[in-house]
Amino acid sequence: MKQNNYQYFNVKSVKNDNVIEFESIKDFHRYIELVHQKSVFLLAENTQSNYFAVVHNGGLIQQQTLGYKTLEDYFTATENGFHDAQNYYEALAGGFLKYEDFKLVKEAAISDKQEFEKIKNGGYIEGFAEMIKDGKETSAVFANPNELYRHASAKGFSSYNNYKEAISKGFSDAETYVVARDKKFENA
C-alpha cells in the first residue's frame, strides 16, 4: 500500500453531531485516500490521541488510533508483522523494525541490538530453527537461539556453522576442533 505523508493537527475538542467512525484503520485510510484528504486531526482525550479524524462534507470522519501516533506508523507496523502499537513502539525504541526480530529478543532475553546482531550474523537464529526442524536432541538443551549462541561462544565458536560442523564430528570446543582439523583428523 502506498504510504502518504499526512499533516497532523492536535485538536482539543470537537462539537459536531455528524460523526462517522470506521471499523478499521484500513477502511479509514482507504476513505481519506478516496476523498483526497491530507490533513488529519488527532483527537485527544486526556493527554493521549485517541482518534484520527478528518472533516468532510460537514461531517467528522474518525477512527480510533489503537495507540499509533500516525497512520504511517500503523502501516509500517503491520507491514513488519506487529499486531499492536505498544510492541511496535517498544521495538522501535530498541532499534528493531521486524516483529520476528523483536519477538525473539523478548523471548530469548537478549539484552540489546548489538547482541542480537551477533546472534543473527553468526547464523544462530537459523541454526536453532534447523535444530528444531531436524528434531536434534540438542535442541532440547537450548530454549532459544540466545542460549545456543552463548553455549557455542563459550566453547570458542564464531558461528553456528562452525559449531554444527565440529559437534557433528564429535568435538566439543573450537580449539580442539581447529587443532584436529589442521592435523587432518576427521573425527574426535
Rg (CA), the chain: 25
What is the model's pLDDT at position 131? 86
Q: How many CB atoms lie within 10 A of CB 98?
A: 13
Report d(CA 35, CA 46) in Å as an integer. 30
pTM score, two decimals? 0.72
Predicted confidence at residue 74, as pLDDT, reads 96
- Rounded to whole angstroms, what are the CA distances from 108 to 24, 113, 156? 33, 13, 21
pLDDT at 19: 86
Residue spans per domain, the chain: 7-65, 108-182
Helix (H, G, I), strand (E, B) or coil at 64: strand
Residue 129's CB is within 10 A of a number of other CB atoms, namely 12
DSSP 138-175: GGGT-SSHHHHHHHHHHTT-SSHHHHHHHHHTT--SHH
Distance CA 187, CA 181 (A): 9
pLDDT in tens, the chain (188 residues): 456 678 887 776 667 678 888 889 999 999 999 999 999 999 887 766 799 999 988 888 999 999 999 999 999 999 999 999 999 999 999 999 999 999 988 888 887 888 888 898 999 988 988 888 877 655 558 888 889 999 999 999 999 999 988 888 888 888 888 888 888 787 77
**pLDDT at residue 1, rounded to an integer:** 46
Instruction: Give me the pLDDT at residue 139, please.
Output: 53
Q: How do strand 19-21 and strand 59-64 relate by DSSP bridges?
A: parallel
pLDDT recorded at residue 53: 92
C-alpha cell at 73: 506508523
